[in-house]
Structure formats: structure tokens, C-alpha cells
A and B are shown apart, each in its own frame.
Chain A
């Protein structure tokens, strides 16, 4: 069965420092993995997706994520946080086993000036 665990409900960083949002997944099949971001009063926006091509995936706004099958992880990183990155981030898995889209609980990112 599919599952997604976002290891931190809240992450706080200072502007200009690196961002790490952690995600572990469970999937019986080759999964597709996504990161979405939601800013207040906005819809979820796709940051990046992994679909069994390159394991290091680059997304919008300087974000990237690395698919590590041995660790069943898909952590989201950014070298330098910006105030506009403050939002809630969702890790998502889809696979052909359940043919469903499963969301993590979300990680709220705070960026301090």
C-alpha cells in the first residue's frame, strides 16, 4: 500500500539559509513523486515531479529533490531561502498499485528575516 510521511510539520529557517523538507514514502510499485506548494488563499502549485527518469529533479523557484530508492526518500531542498518561500509544502505519491494520489500531511515553512 502507498503511504507518504512528511517528517516535520513545521520548519523554520532564516532568509538566505538552506531549506530541507523531508519526505519518506512507501510504495509497492515504481512510484511517481511530486512536491506541491500552497501559499495562503491559493491553489496547490506543482514544484517538481519524479517519474523514473533522472533521480535529481529540478523544479521551479530554485527547488530540487532527490529520489533515493534505497532510503525511500524524496526530500525537497533549496540552497537559499527567500521570504516568498514561506508556505505549506506537500509531498505526494502516485503508483499503479493503488492508482491513487496520496498526500503527505504537509510541512509549513517559516522564513525569518
Chain B
């Protein structure tokens, strides 16, 4: 069974540019999560999709971040325009049931560097 995949693995952009990160969850997983780890800090929750609906987006830092999950399959996270403080590793995870004890399966992350 394929795991969670993320693309690209690395992205280097300049301040003010736009970047789109993609996450493909495990097939059949309705729940999809985005997290971010800024250098030297904890991994922080960004948002949670159930199918194509945003269940919780309370962790999104500001309106420069837009997440979508059209059709309830893969998800994209767009940062527009990117700022220096957006640099970090963006993780995606998926789970089947979405409950608090449900195991989340993580992708390898996308390392974003904003210059």
C-alpha cells in the first residue's frame, strides 16, 4: 500500500513569489491534515480536511495560506505571497477515522526555503 506522498520534496523561492505544495493521502483516507515545522520549533497543526470540507483551519497562520482538497482526494497548500518566516518543513498526514486515537500517517514533508 502506498503511503502519503508529498511534492515537491524541496522548494526554494524568493520572497513575494507563490508556491504550491501537494499532498496525496493514503487511498481511502477521508481525513487529511497539514502541519508545519519552522526551524527549531515544534511541529504545528495547520488544518484538517474531512473529505473535501475543512473541518478545522484554526492553525492557518494568515490569509496568505490557502488549502484546498477538491474531490476529497489530494490536497494543495498554496502560499501567496511567500514571506521569509514561511520557511520550514510542511508535513501532510492522513487517517481513516479522524478520531483523536486514530493513527495519522505522515508524508516525508516538503522543505520550503524562502529567500
Contacts and interface: CB of A to CB of B under 8 A. Distances in A.
Pick the most buried of A32, A46, A101: most chain B CB atoms within 10 A of its CB: A101
Interface stretch (A15-23, A70-78, A92-100): A92-100
B113 to A, nearest CB: 16
Contacts of B100: 32, 94-96, 99, 101
Given A32-B101, A43-B4, A43-B91, A103 B106 contact: no
Nearest to A51: B101
A80 to B, nearest CB: 26
Interface residues on chain A, size class: 20 to 34
A36 B9 CA distance: 20
A63 interface: no
Interface residues on chain B, size class: 20 to 34
B101 A99 contact: no
Interface in B47-106: 56, 91, 93, 100-101, 103-106
A90 B43 contact: yes
B16 interface: no
Interface in A57-113: 90, 94-96, 99-106
A49 B101 CA distance: 8
B108 A43 contact: yes
A41 B41 contact: no
A11 B4 CA distance: 29
B42 A44 contact: no
B101 A36 contact: no
Contacts of A106: 42-43
Contacts of A32: 100-101
A42 B103 contact: no
25 contacts: A32-B100, A32-B101, A41-B9, A42-B108, A43-B91, A43-B107, A43-B109, A44-B91, A44-B93, A46-B103, A46-B104, A46-B105, A49-B103, A94-B100, A94-B101, A95-B100, A99-B100, A101-B33, A101-B45, A101-B100, A101-B104, A103-B35, A103-B43, A103-B44, A104-B42
